[in-house]
Every structure is written in structure tokens, then in C-alpha cells.
Amino acid sequence: MRSIFFLLPKYSNTYKRINRLVGKALHRYDMISDGDRILVGLSGGKDSMALMWTLNERRLRIPITYELFAVHVDPGFDAAIGESLKIYCRQKGIKLRVEHTDYGILAHSSKNRENPCFLCSWYRRKRLFEIADELRCNKLALGHNKDDIIETLFINMCYTGEISTMVPSQPFFKGRFTVIRPLAFVDEEITRRFSDEQGFPQFVNPCPSATRSKRREIKKLLSTLYSSNKKIKGNIFRSLSHVKTEYMLQ
């Protein structure tokens, strides 16, 4: 029996926008097929909560059958967040698996001389793949939105020296798993409004790098650009699928 997850009043304009944009991404990139077993990375933030809500709600009305498995990988800063999230999800009819780790603490220790955000993220992603394999899931759904994709482009250009970003659908391990990002066309502001409307729980990010990460720096830079011209954000996002390689250095 399919659970009713976060089934509160849903036909607001915000809901309709998220549903339309998620549907567009799912269709364009053929993200979900009949019989899929999908692990959903549930961080507890507004984006992952909106992702879980939307994917579960769609199961009730589309002719495709798929299973969802929610997993929260706790980086080790505040175990209470995972437990509170588990209780909240149980109240809404879904079982959440919480994995307690020390990945965040290790990434910020003296043993790591690299970017703590990169190492913590790498460890957590690795663990999600391991759990997906254990649960026989073939898809891993992550809550990255349009803003995350644009920010990653600038992070990679500024700090890695390459033009690349996240993609909406990407196979790993010779196709054994596929990472999907159904919120790829959804602006962060939309998920923020949706989170408020639905009353999703809100947690303060306990990570020491939460307020001083490279992503935070890029977000401030882009915010300044966006405020000067409302078309800039859309143009940057569209440029990712309109690359003229003949005008790039070789």
C-alpha cells in the first residue's frame, strides 16, 4: 500500500509550479521507469523534503509503479536532527533510515588538508550508493535544484579550472545506478515557499563550514548579478545546454 507522505493541501500555485517543473525534468531526461526502486537522499533541508513529497505524491496518480526508500546520512554534528526527522517522517506515513556517521567531523579534522565540504560530500555519497546496493535500488534521487546546478558551474570554473556542473540524470558504475535530480528545473525560492506552505521541519545546519563555504561565496556573487538583471539567471541556465564548442579554447 502506498503511503500518503506530507499529504496536506497541495493545490497551491507553488505546488503546481513544482509539479510542472519536476514533470518536465522527469520526462525530458527519462528519469523514472516502471519498476524502479529509488533511494531518496533526505538531508532534512527544504529541497530534499520537497523532492520526497513530490515523488511520493506523483505515485498516487501516474500509471508508473516505483518504490521509494528515504535515507538520511547524519555527518556526525548533531544526531538529534536525524532522530527528529525520523519521528516526523513516521508521523507522515513513511519509514526513514538514519545512518549515523562521523564523516563531517573527519572532513573537518587535521587529518584532512583538502576542502572539508568535498570530502564530507564524497563520503556521504559513497554511503548512499552502498545502501542503494543493499536495498537493490537502481536510482538515487537527490534534491539539487536549478540554483545548485548554476552554482556548481561557477564553483568548478573558479576553483577547479573546468567548465562542468551537475547533470539531471547521470549513470554510475557502468549503469548499475543512475543519479537523478528531479528538481533540476526548480528555483530554490520555489522550494523555500513550498516548505513554508507544507510546514516541513526546519533545522539549523550545524556544519562548521555552513556559513563560509565556497558555495556560499558563489551564491552571494550570483545574487548580486541576479539583482541587476532578472534575465541573467535564466540565461546562465539555458547556456548550459547551448554550448558552442567551436568558440571554446582547445
- Return the biggest CA–CA distance within the chain: 55
For the stretch 214-229, pLDDT in tens is: 899 999 999 999 999 9
For the stretch 69-84, pLDDT in tens is: 999 999 999 888 999 9
pLDDT at 8: 47
Domains and CATH numbers, the chain: 13-247 (3.40.50.620)
> With bands split at pLDDT 50, 70 and 90, how would you rate the model's confidence at 5?
low
Q: What strand order describes the sheet that includes 177-180?
A: 96-100, 67-74, 37-41, 139-141, 177-180, 169-172
Position 142 pLDDT exceeds 90: yes
Q: Which range among 8-22, 46-60, 150-164, 229-243 shows the weakest confidence by mean pLDDT?
A: 8-22
Q: What is the pTM of this model?
A: 0.92
Nearest CA to 75 out of 50, 36, 109, 39 is that of 109
Q: Name the DSSP letter for residue 77.
A: S
Q: Which range among 20-29, 121-130, 143-152, 199-208 shows the weakest confidence by mean pLDDT?
A: 199-208
